Structure formats: C-alpha cells, structure tokens
C-alpha cells in the first residue's frame, strides 16, 4: 500500500465504513422502491377512480422527499471515508469506473429534477392532467433504477471482477467487462425484488399499527386497506428472490469459490443462517396473517405457489451437509418443515380473525424481520469476500494472517474435494500434519511447503 492510510479514532476503519454504508443503503433502497411503486398506485387509482391509491402514492412520494436529503448526505460520506481509509482501493476502483460514476451523477440530477419539480410539487395542480403527471412519476422511477443499476454493477465487481483492477497510475475510464461482470444481473434483480419486498412488508406493518390507533371509521378503513395491500405485495414479491439467489449462488461458486464456501459453511455462514432465520420468521408470521386475511383463491394460490417454488429451489441446490446424518437428513428435514408450514397456513385460513390486535403486531414484526434479513444479506456478502476489497485482486489494509491462511485453506482444499469447510470438523483424528501431507499427494493438488505449513497451522488453531 503506497498511498497514505488515515487511521480513524475509537473504532476500526471497517466499523466506520459499514456504519455509514449501512445507514445509506436502507434509505436509498426504500426511496427506489417507493418511486417505482408510486406511479403504479397512482395509475391504478386513476383507472379505478379509487382515491385511496392516489393518497397512498402521494404519501410514498412525500416520504421520499423527507428521506432524500439524509440519504444523499450519507451517500456523499461513503467516498470521503473510502478516499481517506482505503486510498489505493478508491484510486484504482474509480479509475476503472470513472465514466459510469459520472453517468450515475447525471442520472441523480435528472431523478431529483423529475421528483421535485415535475412529480412532487405539482401533484395537486395536475389532478386534471393525470396521464402527464404519471409519466413524470415513471421518469422519476426510471432514473432511480438507473442509479441503482450503476451502483449494483460496481458493487458486484468487488465479488466477481470481470476485468483486472488497474494500477493507480493507469486510468481506464471504464471497462465493459468490469461493468457487466458475471454476478451483476443477479445482484441487480435480487436487490430490485428485495427492495420491493422489505419496504412493502415493513410499510404494511407500520400501517397495521396505525390502523389500531385510529378512532375515525374512515381512517381506520383506509389504513386497513393499505396495510393489507402493501403487505401482500411485499410477501408475494419475496418469492422471486429464491430463484435469483440460486442463480447468484451458482455464479459465486464458479467465479468466486472462496466467497461461496465462506457462506456455505465457512466464516460467513453464521450471518447467512441468521438471515435465513429472519426470513423464516417473516414467512411464518406474514403467511399466517395473509392466509387468515384473504379468501380469494387467486391470492391464496399465488402464495402457495410461491412457497412450493421455494421448496423446488432447495431441491435444485446441492444438499447442505450441516446436520448429523449428512445430506439425506437435510433433505428430509426441510421437506418436513415445508409440509408442516403449508398445513399451518391452510389451518389459519379457516379462522378469519385478521383484525385482532395480535395479527397487526405480527405484521409489524414480520416487516422488521424482512428489513433485518435484507441488511444481513449485504453484510454476509461483504464478510464472505474478506480478506479482499476486490476478490483476489486487492487485499484490505488491515488483513490478518489468519484471514490469509483461511483463504488459502478454502482455495487449496475446499474448492478441490471437500464440499464445505465444515468437513474439517468431522475428521475423527485431527492429526493435521499427516492429513495435509496425504492431501498433497492427490492428483491435481499443487501446494508448496510454505502453503502446507500455513494450512496446517490454521487447521490446528481453528479445528
């Protein structure tokens, strides 16, 4: 690292960086989701003459206006922190993506222009020109999505770089191979549906609590309507993510195997399991409420199809060897859980007690679970990439020897014939020098004496 690195006070640099980043991302994703859905709700209200949709759309746009300033301020802080604390990364990364960043800035200016001057301010004045007003809303949504499209390309590059990271003194401007890297489309569409899902689930939960507080019958009816509408949209949107996530995992397995194995049984697996636990809470509470609430066969059938499709994704995915008894026990376990879940949902369908206070709090809890599952997704991906800032191209400044040794173990052993890092815990006799010596004799294994020593040391310390 030739460029000077600024040491932050109080906490390590990664804590500062993640506090700023994870404060900005929920705001940015919420704004993007709201701007996509607002013109859709407005158009439905215009076609059906139902003012509730128009009111919902306007409230979403007003909330976006409130959040835009803190979101932009936190977004500005991210490059400032990176420039000081990871200067080599920023210099090389911005060299590679200079023109996409400039184009993103233009998209940002156009998004602000359409949102503020064309969509928000003239809302009431353009009630008689709804088609034009909705068009302005659509343009706002398009530029918001284009901003996300640029940043997702840059973020995906850090895990699956499609082109080498240039040197500090080698300004590239932009690279199509780097921008359209292997995991980019999966990350974009996964985030798109994640944005819709968590924001609508949380919004439905908040509206459910507002429903409980209302004394006026008209207001109570409105908040009951919008809480059901937004919560249902968020729940249904979730079921697109397992398919996209499965494709995302396949790309990581091929292009970033160390990151993949870090999640599938490695050092990042605990965060992934927390995420899965939060999703389970969301599905249990949210599914129970919606099956209690809805009587229409279409909605019930759609949710049942989504649950069954998630089961199929698990069937397609290689079995996880995490439970005693191996992959077979894993397959049987989640099959039993899925069947029990479906039985539970169809039993809830008979009750029809959706207006009870406990169900409104269940909606809010499910919304919070969806939000935290969303945050743990990004956290897991960044943890899986360690010790790299950019996978296999730039190691972070504060890298620890054990992190480098762990990565070497994943490369040499897990990506070869072990399916998961948990395989090392299952050796009955942990005579690691002998075990490593045996592994070195396998066909296709290339391991120097120094690498064997590092792997043996890591296995002794951590297994």
| Confidence at 428, pLDDT banded by 50, 70, 90 | low
On the question of pLDDT at 313 being above 60, the answer is yes
Give the separation between CA 175 and CA 97, rounded to whole angstroms.
7
Domain final residue, candidates 377, 399, 421:
399
228 with 303, same domain? yes
133 with 94, same domain? yes
208 with 348, same domain? yes
pLDDT tens readout for residues 47-98: 999 999 999 999 999 999 999 888 888 888 888 888 888 888 888 888 899 9
152 with 253, same domain? no
Pair 177, 162: CB distance under 8 Å = yes
Give the separation between CA 151 and CA 184, rounded to whole angstroms.
10
416 with 283, same domain? no
Q: Left if phi > 0, otherwise alpha if psi is -120 to 50, otherwise beta: which for 326?
A: left
169 with 262, same domain? no
pLDDT tens readout for residues 328-344: 777 788 788 888 888 87
206 with 284, same domain? yes
Instruction: Give the count of domains, the chain.
Output: 3
Give the separation between CA 396 and CA 390, rounded to whole angstroms.
8
pLDDT tens readout for residues 127-182: 899 999 999 999 999 999 999 999 999 989 999 998 888 888 888 888 999 999 99
pLDDT tens readout for residues 3-18: 677 777 887 777 777 7
Give the separation between CA 134 and CA 222, rounded to whole angstroms.
22
156 with 213, same domain? no
| Confidence at 185, pLDDT banded by 50, 70, 90 | very high
The better pLDDT of the pair 429, 358 is held by 358
Q: What range does the domain containing 380 cover?
A: 182-399
Position 115 scores a pLDDT of 94
Give the separation between CA 12 and CA 9, rounded to whole angstroms.
8
Domain final residue, candidates 399, 423, 444:
399
| Confidence at 2, pLDDT banded by 50, 70, 90 | low
146 with 263, same domain? no
Count how many Cα atoms sit within 13 Å of the Cα of residue 123 in the half-sphere of its side chain: 18
| Confidence at 110, pLDDT banded by 50, 70, 90 | very high
Count how many Cα atoms sit within 13 Å of the Cα of residue 406 in the half-sphere of its side chain: 24
On the question of pLDDT at 229 being above 90, the answer is yes
Position 326 scores a pLDDT of 66
239 with 177, same domain? no
259 with 322, same domain? yes
148 with 245, same domain? no
Give the separation between CA 206 and CA 143, rounded to whole angstroms.
28
How distant, in Å, are the alpha carbons of 52, 53, 296, 418 from that of 48? 10, 9, 20, 58
Domain final residue, candidates 131, 164, 181:
181
Give the separation between CA 249 and CA 220, rounded to whole angstroms.
44
């Amino acid at each position: 690292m030739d460029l000077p690195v600024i040491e932050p006070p109080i906490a390590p640099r990664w804590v500062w960086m993640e506090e700023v980043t994870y404060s900005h991302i929920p705001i940015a994703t919420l704004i993007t989701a709201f701007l996509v859905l607002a013109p859709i709700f407005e158009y439905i209200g215009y076609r059906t003459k139902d003012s509730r949709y128009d009111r919902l759309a306007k409230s979403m746009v007003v909330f976006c206006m409130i959040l835009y300033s803190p979101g932009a301020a936190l977004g500005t802080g991210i490059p400032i922190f990176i420039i000081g604390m990871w200067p080599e990364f920023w210099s090389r990364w911005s060299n590679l993506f200079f023109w996409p960043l400039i184009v993103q800035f233009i998209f940002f200016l156009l998004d602000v222009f359409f949102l503020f001057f064309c969509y928000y301010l003239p809302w009431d004045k353009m009630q008689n020109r709804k088609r034009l007003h909705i068009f302005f809303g659509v343009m706002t949504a398009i530029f918001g999505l284009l901003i996300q499209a640029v940043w997702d390309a840059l973020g995906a590059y850090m895990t699956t770089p499609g082109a080498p990271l240039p040197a500090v003194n080698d300004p590239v401007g932009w690279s199509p191979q780097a921008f359209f890297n292997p995991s980019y489309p999966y990350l974009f569409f996964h985030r798109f549906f994640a944005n819709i899902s968590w924001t609508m689930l949380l919004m439905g939960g908040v509206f459910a609590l507002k429903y409980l507080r209302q004394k006026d019958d008209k207001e109570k009816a409105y908040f009951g309507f919008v809480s059901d509408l937004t919560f249902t949209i968020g729940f249904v949107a979730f079921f697109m993510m397992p398919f996209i996530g499965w494709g995302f995992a396949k790309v990581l397995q091929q292009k970033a195997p160390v990151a993949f194995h870090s999640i599938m049984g490695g050092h990042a697996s605990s965060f992934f399991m927390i995420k899965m636990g939060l999703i389970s809470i969301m599905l249990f509470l949210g599914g129970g409420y919606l099956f209690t609430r809805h009587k229409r066969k279409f909605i019930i059938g759609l949710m049942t199809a989504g649950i069954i499709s998630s089961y199929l994704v698990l069937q397609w995915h290689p079995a996880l060897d995490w439970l005693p008894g191996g992959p077979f026990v894993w397959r049987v376990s989640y099959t039993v859980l899925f069947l029990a879940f479906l039985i539970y949902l169809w039993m809830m369908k008979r009750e029809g007690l959706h207006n009870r206070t406990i169900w409104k709090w269940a909606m809010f809890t499910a919304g919070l679970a969806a939000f935290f599952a969303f945050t743990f997704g990004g956290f897991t991906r960044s943890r899986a990439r360690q010790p790299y800032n950019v996978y296999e191209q730039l190691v972070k400044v504060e890298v620890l020897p054990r992190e480098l040794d762990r990565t070497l173990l994943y490369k040499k052993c897990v990506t070869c014939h072990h399916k998961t890092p948990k395989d090392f815990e299952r050796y009955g006799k942990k005579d690691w020098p002998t075990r490593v010596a045996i592994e070195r004799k396998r066909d296709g294994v290339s391991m120097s004496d120094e690498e064997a020593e590092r792997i043996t040391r890591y296995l002794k310390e951590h297994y």
